[in-house]
Structure 1
Amino acid sequence: MAFFTPEQIAILSASTVRVDLLVKLEFRSSTQYLWNGSTDLVTGGQTWKPMHGTGVIDGLSAPTGTAAEAVTFQLSGLPDQATDLLRMALEDKQDATQQLVTVYLQLFNADWQPVGVPIGIWWGFMQPARVTRTPMQGTEGAIQSITLQAENAFFNRSRPPYGRYTDRDQQKRYPGDKFFQFTPSLLFKTFTYPDW
């Protein structure tokens, strides 16, 4: 099975490629489908809400190894947005913590109509959102924005599961084994070897 459809390969092979990023935020309370366009986008069986160019994704790259990476998502100018991301960020920090975020690549034809389904290119786990506000500039007012950082799947993977020399970890590895049960009692104990 090919990763791209023949139609997508033809579009990617053209001299002009029309593409945009779509973001799926799976909050505990609801799932938000967003893109940086100006109208609702129906593709992949979902309706993606427009951010009117106010969304920014920073740190997105094509990983070539197993290094931990962080991607930052920022949305500015919140009061005019159709989504309720500001409410979710302010009311409950746990609504986003360790929840899944996925970034998709969407191809378009010459008439800016979506071609094929969105292609997943990155996913990670959201950290608590931060809301910031710029200083007022004369009559311009201030701009509120939400910044959300997400860590990829390799975040915190250097620590092996149940890799400590404790009774709790040993019970997870080998239930019933009591080898490490007495480890704390051995602290500062003197052993004489060989004992004649």
Structure 2
Amino acid sequence: MSRLLAAQPDPAAVEALLAKEAIPSALLLELQFASVTARISDWQGYVVDGNGVTWAGLGELVGISDLEGGSDNLAPLREYILGIPWELLDKESTPTQIQSRIPALIGAPSEYRGRSANLSFQLFDPDLTDQFGRPLPVGVPVALDAGLMTNVSWSLAPGAGGVITTLRVEGVLARKGSPQYGLLTDRDQKRRYGDDEGLEFVPEVMSTNVNWTDW
């Protein structure tokens, strides 16, 4: 059994769903701001996942960059493209007036910088719907990515598309101001393991010729 199925409360139901020709799924992005946790999706309208949690729609999650990682890329940078619809702005506002409102819509850096952003996806059964005509979820959300929010930029969308914000998220293994893997020095070793004294004498022995004994 795959890890995806093993983590589901009803693996058989998820496996049967995956055997269908086409199934809907939703991307779910949880942003843990300092004042509130925002849960948004890439669907139009609200989404209820398999845990009963509601995620806002309205196309607020417009797109994401490629998810990368692995042994050669321990601290990848992702970008989440978020839309701010014109309904939250004034359609009669001039670009200058809109620009003055952007910081208030994005929030202060203390609201997001260094805080968690978690991406997952939820599968739905196209043949079963609730009273509102929405497909019912099957299983629980599957985690795709976890990281820390770093900074936000914005731009005006063409036409009446509103404002597009780009949220940058770094992997949880990112260490600002430090080499990606560290150096084999006493200072870096003590930063990793505070009581390790194994590299204290490295500078002294670097130019020392070792005379191996003949056992």
Same fold by TM (over 0.5)? yes
Match of 1:115 in 2: 138
Over 3 Å counting, the alpha-carbon distance change for 1:86 and 1:118 in structure 2 is: farther
Match of 1:173 in 2: 194
For residue 164 of structure 2, the aligned residue among 131, 145, 156 is: 145
- 1:106 is displaced (CA, Å) by 0.4
Is residue 2:3 matched to residue 1:3?
A: no
> 2:28·2:41 contact (CA, 8 Å) conserved in 1?
yes
- 1:174 is displaced (CA, Å) by 2.5
TM-superposition CA deviations, 1:62-119 (whole Å, max 9, x none): x4435132211112243436xxx97452x31121111111111100001422112111
Match of 1:33 in 2: 39
Match of 1:183 in 2: none
Alignment of 1:43-192 (within 5 A): 43=49, 44-52=51-59, 55-61=62-68, 63-65=69-71, 67=73, 68-80=75-87, 87=104, 89=106, 91-110=107-126, 111=128, 112-134=135-157, 140=159, 143-156=162-175, 158-160=180-182, 165-166=186-187, 169=190, 173-174=194-195
SS in 2 for 1:154: coil
> 1:71·1:149 contact (CA, 8 Å) conserved in 2?
yes
**Scaled by the length of structure 1, what TM-score is found?**
0.69
Q: Distance in 2 between the 1:65 and 1:22 partners?
A: 26
TM-superposition CA deviations, 1:25-76 (whole Å, max 9, x none): 1111110000121221222232100133761111225x44351322111122
Over 3 Å counting, the alpha-carbon distance change for 1:16 and 1:57 in structure 2 is: same
**Scaled by the length of structure 2, what TM-score is found?**
0.64
Over 3 Å counting, the alpha-carbon distance change for 1:113 and 1:66 in structure 2 is: farther
* Cα RMSD for the two superposed structures: 3.5
Q: Distance in 2 between the 1:39 and 1:142 partners?
A: 17
Over 3 Å counting, the alpha-carbon distance change for 1:7 and 1:35 in structure 2 is: same
For structure 1, the residue ranges without an aligned partner over 5 or more in a row are 181-196
Matched residue type, 2:55? W
SS in 1 for 2:154: strand
For structure 2, the residue ranges without an aligned partner over 5 or more in a row are 89-101, 129-134, 202-215
Aligned residues: 170
Q: Distance in 1 between the 2:161 and 2:118 partners?
A: 30
Runs of 4+ in 1 over 4 A off after TM superposition: none
- Answer with 99-108 or 70-79: which moved more: 70-79
- 1:17 is displaced (CA, Å) by 2.4
Identity between Structure 1 and Structure 2 (%): 20
